[in-house]
């Protein structure tokens, strides 16, 4: 959430930068400033009323002691009137503050100055590429046919048990999933990330904290009886571990990694682009999260990009890194790099990771702050996160790119985790 200070001190710049995300902020920003002015005026009136009330209350005892009973009773009537005025002003203030917060929650994060302008994925900028695109044999198959041929994933059984987008992994397919999760976690912990295992459901405060609500309302699975939400990513529970916390500056950076299943309704998703593992309602992902000092968050972002790139290199997959344009960025991000791997059988690039800096946007929602030694006032931290990695499209690319007439080869880095070097009939 943007701070009122950001909005008031740089109004024109805020509106201009929001436009890069194709968000017209003129009306809502002006309304926020109007409400903030109103809030200040009510607060000033409330403070004055309460001060007068306290002053008169102190005088009442003195008047009674001096035998001025009539004046004391008049003063008592006045304090009753002032209390009623204070009550009305407090209720009015609460309403204005709630309306102000609701408007602030509707404004996306400001894009970083380096974010390219653009409407969608076609306008993203390729930063660099790596790996070699394989040349497949003539009878090469897409991953959904390979999964069936080698009895790795049963999509139809998942439809029977739950519905479309909930596959069942079997045999070596299930082993490959578990191997990838363990490999990713080991890679992350070896780089200094602390492994955590968070809940797979969060409350409404947590969903608001990282910005899934209200922006993604309707895209998350909602357990209405309890008010819980199934997590769309481990970013939500892991980052919220530090909601309403004031850290010591020496504790920064905090680096965390977690494996969780992820749940996304993906309403409106259909067609060939969502076939097989390309888009699921439940999938596995390993996440990395950092709580950083504002002065070091962009340095940390570059380190996280290199970290994820190293994973793809170990998996021997052809990849490219793209900087997202304003029109393709998430609601909460200030700067995002997407990682895509090439799917040789589908002849397309598949997104497998997003690495983002949210600056103070999430921290302001969560009141995640840190304090320097000797300082009385705390300041907002910066938060970052990245997929390290999301499994479905990684599995799709591994199956498709490594297929041979004799079977599917397993990258060397995974063989000790899998216990096999090839999947064959």
The annotated binding site is made up of 233, 264-266, 287, 351-354, 385
Of 338, 351, 240, nearest in space to 289 by CA: 240
Distance CA 403, CA 390 (A): 21
Q: Are 381 and 363 in contact (CB under 8 A)?
A: yes
CA 91, 93, 99, 104 torsion-angle sign: negative
Distance CA 357, CA 304 (A): 10
Distance CA 196, CA 204 (A): 21
The partner residues of 393 in beta bridges, in order of sequence, read: none
Query: What DSSP character marks residue 119?
Result: S
Q: Are 2 and 109 in contact (CB under 8 A)?
A: yes
Q: Are 216 and 232 in contact (CB under 8 A)?
A: yes
Other Cβ atoms closer than 10 A to 276: 24
**Phi, psi dihedral angles at 155 (to 5 degrees):** -75, -40
Q: Are 68 and 122 in contact (CB under 8 A)?
A: no
Show binding-site residues for ATP.
264-266, 351-354
Query: What DSSP character marks residue 373?
Result: T
Show binding-site residues for L-serine.
233, 264, 287, 385
Distance CA 385, CA 234 (A): 10
Helix, strand, coil % in the chain, rounded to nearest 5: 45, 20, 35
SS3 at position 383: strand
- Cβ neighbourhood burial of 411 (10 Å; 0-12, 13-18, 19+): middle
């Amino acid at each position: 959430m943007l701070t009122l200070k950001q909005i008031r001190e740089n109004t024109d710049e805020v509106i201009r930068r929001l436009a890069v995300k194709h968000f017209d902020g003129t009306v809502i920003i002006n309304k926020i400033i109007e409400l903030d002015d109103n809030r200040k005026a009510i607060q000033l009136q409330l403070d004055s009323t309460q001060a007068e009330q306290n002053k008169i209350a102190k005088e009442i005892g003195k008047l009674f002691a001096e035998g001025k009973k009539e004046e004391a009773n008049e003063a008592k009537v006045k304090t009753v009137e002032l209390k009623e005025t204070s009550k009305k002003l407090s209720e009015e203030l609460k309403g204005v503050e709630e309306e102000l917060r609701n408007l602030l929650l509707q404004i996306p994060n400001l894009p970083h100055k380096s974010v390219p302008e653009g409407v969608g994925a076609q306008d993203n900028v390729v930063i660099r590429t790596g790996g070699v695109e394989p040349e497949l044999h003539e009878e090469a198959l897409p991953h959904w046919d390979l999964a069936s041929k080698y009895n790795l994933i049963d999509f139809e059984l998942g439809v029977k048990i739950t519905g479309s987008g909930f596959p069942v992994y079997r045999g070596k397919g299930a082993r490959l999933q578990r191997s990838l999760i363990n490999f990713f976690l080991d890679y992350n912990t070896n780089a200094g990330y602390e492994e955590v295992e968070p809940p797979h459901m969060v409350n409404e405060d947590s969903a608001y904290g990282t910005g899934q609500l209200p922006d993604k309302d309707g895209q998350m699975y909602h357990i209405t009886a309890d008010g819980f939400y199934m997590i769309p990513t481990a970013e939500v529970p892991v980052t919220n571990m530090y909601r309403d916390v004031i850290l010591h500056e020496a504790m920064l950076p905090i680096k965390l990694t977690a494996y969780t299943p992820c749940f996304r309704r993906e309403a409106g998703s259909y067609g060939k682009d969502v076939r097989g593992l390309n888009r699921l309602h439940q999938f596995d992902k390993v996440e990395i999260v950092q709580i950083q000092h504002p002065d070091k968050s962009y340095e940390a972002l570059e380190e996280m990009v290199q970290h994820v790139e190293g994973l793809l290199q170990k998996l021997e997959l052809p990849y490219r890194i793209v900087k997202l344009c304003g029109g393709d960025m998430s609601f909460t991000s200030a700067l995002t790099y997407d990682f895509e791997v090439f799917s040789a059988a589908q002849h397309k690039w598949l997104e497998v990771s997003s690495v983002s800096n949210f600056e103070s946007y999430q921290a302001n929602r969560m009141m995640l702050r840190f304090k320097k030694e000797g300082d009385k006032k705390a300041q907002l931290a910066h938060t970052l996160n990245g997929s390290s990695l999301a499994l479905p499209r990684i599995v799709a690319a591994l199956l498709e790119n490594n297929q041979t007439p004799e079977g599917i080869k397993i990258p060397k880095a995974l063989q000790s985790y899998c216990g096999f070097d090839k999947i064959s009939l």
